Amino acid sequence: MSENTTTTTTAPTENLRERALKLDATDPLAGRRALFALDDGVYLDGNSLGALPVHVPARVQDVLTRQWGELRIRSWDESGWWTAPERIGDRIAPLVGAAAGQIVVGDSTSVNVFKAVVAAVRIAGEGRDEILVDATTFPTDGYIASAAARLTGHRIVPVAPADVLAALGPRTAAVLLNHVDYRSGRLHDLPGLTAAVHAAGAVAVWDLCHSAGALPVGLDEHRVDLAVGCTYKYLNGGPGSPAYLYVAERHQAVFDSPLPGWNSHADPFGMTAGYAPADGSVRGRVGTPDIVSMLTLEAALDVWDGVSVDAVRAKSLALTDFFLECVEAYVPAGRVVSVTPAAHAERGSQVALRCAEAEPVMRRLIERGVVGDLRRPDVLRFGFTPLYVGFADAERAARILADVLAEVPAGDTVG
């Protein structure tokens, strides 16, 4: 979508408020909000850190006092600590369209990107020396991919997702792409780009940090090779909760991790000098998992029981549509520009508004209880988590945004 300056409309404020209440009253996911610890404000930063599910503290207390405090070392077996990375991976799998046995939870997104990119070029084989990387990617993906390229003797080729098709060729070994752009919220064509990568004989690696838990991904359906993602955004796993690695079943026998830790050994307690990789997704493990964070995530995933990702996607699109409509109705013409695509097929679950006065505006929004985030220098970013954000939240956020813009003079970038 080209950037379009919002224009005021004649939609009465009261009509939008009434519509919001009616939409919330008929929302099949509305009851999920009670599962989260939220205050009276509007939390629109779940695309950075998801809200706390209310039952999680008690579950973590059990991990600390009973499993660790009483059972101690016995919990590796009796409390299922040892199998947690694969067990929790199987719980995430349906949320990203994967069958069981292909996702392992552990380490950070950055570490998993490193594993995936190195493994991808090894799968691609000799004669290919280029790694295509999304030029608009979240910085760490680019940093890690560059390190992987140095390690494997490959060359990094930064390319915009729209230009991937033209950049693919016989030298392409792997392609690392973001499913949803973290800054603009643009949803990229995972099925089409994956097919094109395969047609070129290369391996597709996808970063799902801004899509998992917000929209259908279809890893198995679209034959994605490798994927990584975090769990502290739409999956609500908590700050720094462990990330995950997807290795398609067809690649697991040849998945060659650059970090062959003892946890991924075929006989981890044999303590042998030579490394022999385990079968299946266990090959993605490295060292001893962070059990407290791991089990916090496992507890948090309970909020997804009985939830359809398709229903989440439908509400996400309705919410972002409604928020954009409210912004258009309330905000003075010319003060903000949407950089989020209008087309549903190209939109994730956030709205990014370009605003020259973004820094003081976001600061004042947060002071008034509307929590989004700032992407310097001039982007106001609002994440819509359908499990706990409602239509009244969207209307209220847009109305307060208009009030704040009325107070912040155009051109005021200091505030």
**CATH number of 201's domain:** 3.40.640.10
Same domain flag for 277 and 336: no
**CATH number of 343's domain:** 3.90.1150.10
Q: Please state, as a whole number, how many other Cβ atoms lie within 10 Å of the Cβ of residue 83.
A: 11
Exposure class string for 134-168: b at 16+ Cβ within 10 A, else e: bebbbeebbebbbbbbeebebebbbbebeebeeeb
- How far is the C-alpha of 222 from the C-alpha of 14, rounded, in Å? 44
For residue 377, cis peptide bond before it (omega within 30 degrees of 0): yes
- How far is the C-alpha of 15 from the C-alpha of 367, rounded, in Å? 26
Whether residue 294 lies inside any domain: the answer is yes
Same domain flag for 108 and 74: yes
Same domain flag for 218 and 342: no
The answer to whether the CB of 359 falls within 8 A of the CB of 194 is: no
Same domain flag for 211 and 92: yes
Kindly indicate the confidence band of residue 2, based on its pLDDT and cuts at 50, 70 and 90: very low
pLDDT in tens, 193-239: 999 999 999 999 999 999 999 999 999 999 999 999 999 999 999 99
Amino acid, single-letter form, for residue 273: A
Q: Check residue 11 and give its pLDDT.
A: 52
Same domain flag for 174 and 250: yes
For the segment 83-106, the average pLDDT, to the nearest whole number, is 98
Q: Please state, as a whole number, how many other Cβ atoms lie within 10 Å of the Cβ of residue 44.
A: 26
Same domain flag for 204 and 343: no
The pTM of the full predicted model, rounded to 2 decimals, is: 0.95
Amino acid, single-letter form, for residue 259: L
Q: In total, how many domains does the chain have?
A: 2
Whether residue 43 lies inside any domain: the answer is no
Q: Check residue 4 and give its pLDDT.
A: 40
Whether residue 42 lies inside any domain: the answer is no
Question: Using the 8-state DSSP alphabet, how is residue 186 labeled?
Answer: B
Domain that holds residue 115: 57-304
Same domain flag for 226 and 287: yes
How many residues in the chain?
415
Whether residue 98 lies inside any domain: the answer is yes
Same domain flag for 61 and 10: no
**Active-site residue set:** 138, 207, 232-233, 381
pLDDT in tens, 6-21: 433 445 677 999 999 9
pLDDT in tens, 260-313: 999 999 999 999 999 999 999 999 999 999 999 999 999 999 999 999 999 999
Whether residue 44 lies inside any domain: the answer is no
**Signed CA dihedral, 309, 313, 319, 323: sign only:** positive
Q: Check residue 13 and give its pLDDT.
A: 73
- How far is the C-alpha of 237 from the C-alpha of 299, rounded, in Å? 8
- How far is the C-alpha of 382 from the C-alpha of 100, rounded, in Å? 33
Domain final position from 304, 333, 360: 304
What region, left, alpha or beta, does residue 306 occupy, with left being phi > 0 and alpha being psi -120 to 50 degrees? Answer: left
For the segment 227-252, the average pLDDT, to the nearest whole number, is 98
Whether residue 175 lies inside any domain: the answer is yes
Same domain flag for 331 and 294: no
Same domain flag for 229 and 259: yes
pLDDT in tens, 118-140: 999 999 999 999 999 999 989 99
Long-range contacts of 25-28 (CB under 8 A, 24+ apart): 27/315, 27/390, 27/391, 28/311
Same domain flag for 256 and 144: yes
The answer to whether the CB of 393 falls within 8 A of the CB of 42 is: yes
Whether residue 139 lies inside any domain: the answer is yes
Chain mean position to CA 180:
8
Q: Please state, as a whole number, how many other Cβ atoms lie within 10 Å of the Cβ of residue 225.
A: 26
Domain final position from 272, 304, 336: 304
Whether residue 145 lies inside any domain: the answer is yes
Domain final position from 304, 320, 347: 304
pLDDT at 77 over 60: yes
Which residue did the predictor score with more confidence, 318 or 409? 318
Same domain flag for 187 and 236: yes
End-to-end CA, the chain: 31
